[in-house]
Chain A
Amino acid sequence: MLAALIIILLVGGALAWPAQRLGEAWPRWVSLGVVALDLLVLAAIALSPGGQGPWLAQSEWAWIPRFGISVHLGMDGMSLLLIVLTLFLGVMAVGISWTEIGQRVGFFHCMLLWTLAGVVGVFLSLDLFLFFLFWEVMLVPMYFLIAVWGHEARYRAAIKFFIFTQGSGLLMLAAILALVFAYHEQAHIFSFDYQTLLSARLDIGTAYWIMLGFFIAFAVKLPAVPFHAWLPDAHTQASTGGSVLLAGILLKTGAYGLIRFVLLLFPHASQVFAPVAMFLAVLGIVYGALLAFAQSDLKRLVAYTSISHMGFVLLGVFSGSALALRGAVMQIVAHGIITPGLFMLVGALQERLHTRDMGHMGGLWSRVPGFGAFGMFLAVAALGLPGLVGFVGEFLVLIGTYGTHPVFAVAASLGFVASAIYALHLVQRTFHGETRGTEAVPDLSIRELALFAVIAAAVTALGLYPQPVFDLVSPALANAYQAGGLIMRLTRL
């Protein structure tokens, strides 16, 4: 059943491509249908009983017996949450690209669905070889999404994106192999199975180096400063649909990897490493926010806010506090809704004004009030206004970290201040002030209005009542600490 989630998307992509011959709209409808079907299957799996422990479902087939590699898929609450987010954003990406992508429509939707397939594979893999395979293979369709439909400097951005993520991925491959051979020395069998490798006993020195290999790969994807150089270019140059996927889900694979692999496989080593990671996190939070403020390109601005927001995830993961870890998961969800929303807004604006430069905007509220309203809403959501989803994650991370590492928490809260500045700066320069240009600009269409309404509803609903998310991920996170043998007080929220 779990494999069906990936196969549906792969086959759907292969169908969406030739569907172009029937008409421009066909690939779009096929893609929507495929994602909807995937959601149905997902619901069926999630609701059917039969899991054990935190796992809602698992399946395993032999693949390369020589190295103990198998196709081992498993879904727990955290995977489920992230797959729901992935498919949700898939719908958003198709929706927002409806008029923007006018060329090679079939190919675009094929690449989009294949990216989703790769990401779903990453979230489901419980075999390290399989995980690495999906980790790398999702880059290829994403690379095409940037290189073929992106903006003016797309080739450079696409290559940069690919080299950063693939190069760091190879470090992870070396780390995976080191782990497997270390286990082979103890148990005299090869195994790439996640659950088997959890029982590998490593001395702290070895574990530290191996952990570092994983950490760098995930930190590049997250991205954590100083591994972030690919992100502003890739996000800015990708088409809107590509940016939505990049910001919404590709970055999340890094966060997921940190929790699933770095924390769980190397609990002690990651504890030793935690101060460094938290320092990088705080650096990212402040640095991202400051650079966001300095941008005049709207898309670049949003890209830098991503660095800032993902810093909170990194902080929460390594804080050693159960509360902050839950906050990190919440922050993943929050960023996964708000930032794609902002990219969609900027993309829709660019489609109308043919510029992303805030210097050429100003006074847009009176000309396109719909954009103004949603822009304001998403900006305050991004700055963490209480009552909206962004607040929940950042607040929990800060309060949890304060209990364990007050200095880092205080430093990170500076990011809060900076985020208020860049968010209001964005609203002011774009929507307020003197009106530039006189030509008529159409406001949000019904399609766009519907997309933004859904996003706004999600931001508000989860902001007011985040409990379902915690209920979903708590068993998985509890498992995280038990497996590590760490004594961690899990307080129920």
Chain B
Amino acid sequence: MNGTDLLVLSPLIVLAATAVSVMVMAAFCRRHGAVALMTQAGLILSLAALGPAASHAPRIVTPLLIVDHYGIYFTGLILAATIAVAALSYDYLERRARRPEEFYVLLLTASLGAVVLVASRHFASFFLGVELLSIPLFAMIAYQKRQWRPLEAGTKYLILSGASSAIFLFGMALVYSGLGTMAFDRIAASMARGPAAGPYVLAGVALVLAGLSFKLSLVPFHMWVADVYEGAPAPVSAYIATISKGSVFALLFRYVTDTGAYRDQAVIVILTTVAVASMLIGNLLALLQGSVKRVLAYSSVAHMGYLLVALVAGGGIAVEAVGFYLAAYFVTVIGAFGVVTLLSGNPEHGDTDAVEDYQGLFWKRPWLAAVLTAMLLSLAGIPVTMGFVAKFYVMAAGVSGATWALVYVLIAASAIGLYYYLRIVIALYRPVSERLRQVPLFPSPFGGATVVLVAAFLLLWLGVYPAPLIDLLHATAENAG
């Protein structure tokens, strides 16, 4: 390990150092504002370190990690999203939690896990990253330990996450027993050499995919998602939806491409089936939910399915499509959960997430309702939002790969999905409900309001003029080779 290695790893190092510093500081000085500021400063520093790291990319550091443009792009997304979630959490925790400082340690550690994930090229770092990401999440979900819903959600996530870890550990072991290696590129080389990799290896690959599907809440491993989203504090739900799923998907993409698994017909069949089931079942389950958080949970199942379309289609355009889709999804979901967070101002109750609570919101709080409308239309893929360009990209990938069946299912699923997004949109513009009339207005705190407005601005700006991001992604994909 030399100086350049340290330089390209500096975003991770800064992030880890920030987590430790925040922990030490929280032990001595219990001041929420100072801890939150330090967290933000560390995150921004880490983001700034991406620039020098990018100038030396791609570079393999130790057998475990690779810092390439692909990884750096997703690291940037993860760090930016962490900044947004930290800002949203500040007000939320200030009102509710008695000791909010440790939350930031958990947040930073989880993000460190996510960054490791997107840079990993080996089963060991892959597993480390997943655990580093998941374990803090148990505590983040159940951070309000005096309420039963977050506790229930945290326990569910703990058990199912543990089960999924066991599954892909077993899968990794099977692959290792068959091929004698855990590095992605060597797995690819071994699989390419042997005509048939043998049933154990294939089973291993399938188990790893199943474990990842748990984290991505793909059908048939989607059972936990609605309860956890509903029970978790709104900023944490945003975290699970964006950073946790985004980084795992980035890893899945790298895993499938680097190990050459996509050349295996069986793997493609599995992924296609999972994609079709996720798109349809996710959207169908979302249809009848009465809670905005549950709707967003099931819609995330469908969105992960849409992303799989790009993955199955493959080709150079798939990298760009995944990159754009995840960026759009991050912005949209943070905006949507941001509005939920801002409306959940009453510490006596759980989060404000019943659809009736939103009825007539536009006439009472026009800006928040307008932002939420834009976010929902983006999730539905309506133009002048990023969500549209993202869906365009995924469909372009699907068409270029001639995966017509998936494209048709995507179209049908999107049409179904429109219903529940529009149901919420319509509620916002109905006459003001009694429940909303009685709710006292909480002024929107500075941090949360900034996050929501920035998200809305990005959503429209990159929706109308996506060329800069597309060019960046095109360059990333070219560099990836």
- Which residues of A are in contact with B by a Cβ distance under 8 Å? 63-67, 129, 132-134, 136-137, 139-140, 143-144, 147-148, 155, 158-159, 162-163, 166-167, 170-171, 173-174, 177-178, 181
CA distance A171 to B415 in the complex (A): 10
5 interchain pairs, CB-CB under 8 A: A66-B471, A136-B388, A140-B382, A158-B426, A181-B399
Across the interface, do B415 and A148 meet the contact criterion of CB distance under 8 Å?
A: no
Across the interface, do B474 and A166 meet the contact criterion of CB distance under 8 Å?
A: no
**Contact A167:B415 (CB < 8 A) given known A66-B467, A66-B470, A136-B383:** yes
CA distance A66 to B392 in the complex (A): 13
**Contact A177:B423 (CB < 8 A) given known A136-B388, A137-B384, A171-B411:** no
**Among A64, A134, A163, A166, contact of B382 (Cβ-Cβ < 8 Å):** A166
B422 within 8 A of A: yes
The interface bits of chain B over 382-401 (1 if a CB of A lies within 8 angstroms of the residue's CB, else 0) are 11100010001001100110
B466 within 8 A of A: yes
Q: How far is the CB of B413 from chain A (nearest CB, A)?
A: 10
**Among B381, B388, B407, B429, contact of A174 (Cβ-Cβ < 8 Å):** B407
Q: Which residues of A contact B396 (CB under 8 A)?
A: 67, 177, 181
Q: Which residues of B contact A177 (CB under 8 A)?
A: 392, 395-396, 399-400
Across the interface, do A159 and B423 meet the contact criterion of CB distance under 8 Å?
A: yes
**Closest 9 CB pairs between A and B?**
A167-B415, A177-B399, A133-B383, A170-B411, A137-B383, A136-B383, A66-B470, A64-B467, A159-B422
The interface bits of chain B over 348-380 (1 if a CB of A lies within 8 angstroms of the residue's CB, else 0) are 000000000000000000000000000001001
Across the interface, do A63 and B467 meet the contact criterion of CB distance under 8 Å?
A: yes
Q: How far is the CB of B476 from chain A (nearest CB, A)?
A: 12
Across the interface, do B470 and A162 meet the contact criterion of CB distance under 8 Å?
A: no
Q: Which residues of A contact B410 (CB under 8 A)?
A: 170
* Cβ-closest chain B residue relative to A158: B426
Q: Which residues of A contact B418 (CB under 8 A)?
A: 159, 162-163, 166-167
Across the interface, do A166 and B429 meet the contact criterion of CB distance under 8 Å?
A: no
Interface SS, A side? helix
Across the interface, do B426 and A174 meet the contact criterion of CB distance under 8 Å?
A: no
Q: How far is the CB of B99 from chain A (nearest CB, A)?
A: 45
Q: Which residues of A contact B381 (CB under 8 A)?
A: 170
B419 within 8 A of A: yes
Q: Which residues of A contact B414 (CB under 8 A)?
A: 166-167, 170
Across the interface, do B474 and A155 meet the contact criterion of CB distance under 8 Å?
A: no
Across the interface, do B411 and A162 meet the contact criterion of CB distance under 8 Å?
A: no
CA distance A167 to B410 in the complex (A): 10
The interface bits of chain B over 453-481 (1 if a CB of A lies within 8 angstroms of the residue's CB, else 0) are 00000000000011100110010000000
Q: Which residues of B contact A133 (CB under 8 A)?
A: 383-384, 388
Across the interface, do B377 and A140 meet the contact criterion of CB distance under 8 Å?
A: yes
Q: Which of B199-220 contact A (CB under 8 A)?
A: none
Across the interface, do B467 and A174 meet the contact criterion of CB distance under 8 Å?
A: no
* Cβ-closest chain B residue relative to A184: B400
Across the interface, do A170 and B467 meet the contact criterion of CB distance under 8 Å?
A: no
Across the interface, do B399 and A65 meet the contact criterion of CB distance under 8 Å?
A: no
CA distance A159 to B423 in the complex (A): 8
Q: How far is the CB of A214 from chain B (nearest CB, A)?
A: 14
CA distance A291 to B430 in the complex (A): 32
CA distance A426 to B282 in the complex (A): 47
CA distance A432 to B351 in the complex (A): 60
CA distance A162 to B416 in the complex (A): 11
Q: Which residues of B contact A171 (CB under 8 A)?
A: 411
CA distance A167 to B300 in the complex (A): 20
CA distance A64 to B410 in the complex (A): 24
Across the interface, do B415 and A170 meet the contact criterion of CB distance under 8 Å?
A: yes
The interface bits of chain B over 249-272 (1 if a CB of A lies within 8 angstroms of the residue's CB, else 0) are 000000000000000000000000
CA distance A147 to B430 in the complex (A): 8
Across the interface, do A132 and B383 meet the contact criterion of CB distance under 8 Å?
A: yes
Q: Which residues of B contact A181 (CB under 8 A)?
A: 396, 399-400
Known: A136-B388, A170-B415; 20 extra A-B contacts, CB below 8 A, are A66-B470, A66-B474, A67-B396, A132-B383, A133-B383, A136-B383, A137-B382, A137-B383, A147-B426, A147-B429, A148-B429, A155-B426, A166-B382, A166-B414, A170-B410, A174-B408, A177-B392, A177-B400, A181-B396, A181-B399
CA distance A170 to B388 in the complex (A): 11
**Contact A159:B426 (CB < 8 A) given known A64-B466, A66-B474:** yes
Q: Which residues of A contact B470 (CB under 8 A)?
A: 64, 66-67
Q: How far is the CB of A179 from chain B (nearest CB, A)?
A: 10
CA distance A148 to B430 in the complex (A): 7
Q: How far is the CB of A153 from chain B (nearest CB, A)?
A: 12
Most buried by B among A147, A163, A173, A181: A173
Q: Which residues of A contact B419 (CB under 8 A)?
A: 159, 163
CA distance A144 to B362 in the complex (A): 12
CA distance A465 to B337 in the complex (A): 60
CA distance A177 to B419 in the complex (A): 25
Q: Which residues of A contact B399 (CB under 8 A)?
A: 174, 177-178, 181
Q: Which residues of A contact B408 (CB under 8 A)?
A: 174
Most buried by A among B410, B467, B474: B467
CA distance A170 to B408 in the complex (A): 9
Q: Which residues of A contact B474 (CB under 8 A)?
A: 66
Q: Which residues of B contact A136 (CB under 8 A)?
A: 382-383, 388
CA distance A322 to B470 in the complex (A): 44
Q: Which residues of B contact A144 (CB under 8 A)?
A: 429
CA distance A292 to B387 in the complex (A): 40
CA distance A166 to B379 in the complex (A): 14
Q: Which residues of A contact B392 (CB under 8 A)?
A: 129, 173, 177
Q: Which residues of B contact A167 (CB under 8 A)?
A: 411-412, 414-415, 418
Q: Which residues of A contact B422 (CB under 8 A)?
A: 143, 158-159, 162-163
Across the interface, do B395 and A174 meet the contact criterion of CB distance under 8 Å?
A: yes
CA distance A139 to B384 in the complex (A): 12
Q: How far is the CB of A16 from chain B (nearest CB, A)?
A: 16
Q: How far is the CB of B440 from chain A (nearest CB, A)?
A: 24
CA distance A173 to B410 in the complex (A): 12
CA distance A132 to B429 in the complex (A): 26
Q: How far is the CB of B321 from chain A (nearest CB, A)?
A: 12
**Among B383, B407, B467, contact of A65 (Cβ-Cβ < 8 Å):** B467
Q: Which residues of B contact A134 (CB under 8 A)?
A: 383
